[in-house]
Amino acid sequence: MRSIIKCLVPLAVIFLFAFLSSSLTACSSIGNQNTEMPNIIVIMTDDQPQHTLPYMPVIQKELVAKGITFSNAFATTPLCCPSRASILTGLYAHNHGVKTNRAPEGGAVAFHDQSTISVWLQDAGYRTGFFGKYLNGYNDLPEGYVPPGWDDWQAFVRRDPNLDFYLNYSLNENGKVIQYGKEPQDYSTDLLAERAVKFIRESRQQPFFLFFSAFAPHQTYQAAERHKDLFKSLDEFERYRPPSFFEADLTDKPLWANDIERPSVDYVDKVHERMLRSLMAVDDAAASLISALERGNIRDNTIIIFMSDNGMSMGDNGVFGKNCPYDGCLRIPLVVSYPHLTSASRVDESLILNIDIAPTLIDFAGITSPTPIDGESFLPVLSSTSQGWRDGFLIEHFKDFADIEESGLAFLIPGYVGYRTDEWKYIEYETGEIELYDLYADPFELENLAYQDGYESIMIDLSEKIQAILP
């Protein structure tokens, strides 16, 4: 018996050691649990129409069903680069100075990148990572340039203006520019998702800020190989057909709306299908990121925001594109999921803006911006009702004076400013033309009331609100 006990003692020690080792391993895999500095992930698409959100199954299951969907989220300037600068700074375009997509009035060269959300969060102790599309014209900056505030930087560089960012693209990987090819494994959304998962795995023991900026569903709308046969049989009930679809009577609209070229309905339908296919890889990327959070036991302590930089009019009011003052261009998909605050699905109708992202995220992190911000933190809206929230916001568009081949509608649409509330939208163009819509009676902006009697006092009031915001 004594000999048996002698044999069992070492075995007991071995089992105990194995148990302790397993427990320590399990404990070491648990990531950041500091609710005062939660992890933050922004998943951003490029030119995504709001109505395409329901087609993304992972976003629906993991974010919409477990978070808040903002049905009235807008880009204050409906164009990529100005909106992206607003997201990073919390400022209107007239304050951050990025007015168009290209120099000298816009693009990355016009952006002052010393005071952004990444800088503020990094200074507060966050590990920061950026993956994907940064600002238009980023290639105009010195090769290898990494903006301040980013610990891991992997951003698209457009060496050839004829190429997009799906395949055959370049990435600035922490200062070194690497070229990628056309093989399936090079498909950018997938490759960037793998890099972002690696970032989560390496960062999970500390608070981190991950900005995943996919190129989809931007033109040329390229899908991953595995998705190329999807959405080829949408029936008539799945086609995008709002009442404003290719609006027939534009006599009450500004001259530009009557002068722009309209694509065929068939072309818009085909683009719609291709957009949906390209978004499926973004949906897969979201699944990979969420899985990485769950493996690190940090999903509950991670805020995930899904959004687009601007909307995209798919025939609304006769417009195919962006830059326009109509809701098809302005409205963006926006979903926020944070288990500590948003465990059940909810739709909120508050007016939430791209300029609200930065102040909201630093509010979550418990810090304040060292510089003024135009936007407001919508953290109170997430945790309670939206009573006392804003009742209107400024809209602005700056004409791009590059030739039409380069800038499209940004060249064709005159500069304008506007003001939108739940009930009214008012637009003033540089040409002197004006638009006014009663959004309660006419949510699809079919009847311009600006030249009808009885609306003078409303237009005066909205015009004064514009002037109160502009410098």
Catalytic residues: 80
Q: Are strands 434-438 and 424-429 parallel, antiparallel or unpaired?
A: antiparallel
HSE on the CB side for 264, CA within 13 Å? 3
- Residue-wise DSSP of 88-112: HH---HHHH---SSSTTTSSGGG--
Q: How far is CA 424 from CA 52, 131, 322, 323, 405, in A?
A: 25, 38, 21, 19, 34
HSE on the CB side for 99, CA within 13 Å? 17
Strand ranges of the sheet holding 434-438, from the earlier edge strand across to the other edge:
392-397, 416-421, 424-429, 434-438
At residue 417, the 3 state secondary structure works out as strand
At residue 420, the 3 state secondary structure works out as strand
Which residues on adjacent β-strands are paired with residue 44? 213, 307
Q: What is the distance of C-alpha 323 from the center of its chain? A: 16
CA distance 466 to 471: 10
CA distance 264 to 266: 5
Residue identified by tokens 């909120």 is 348
Residue 220 class from Cβ within 10 Å (0-12 exposed, 13-18 middle, 19+ buried)?
Answer: middle
H/E run at residue 117: helix 117-123
Q: How far is CA 378 from CA 85, 145, 256, 365, 390, in A?
A: 19, 33, 36, 13, 10
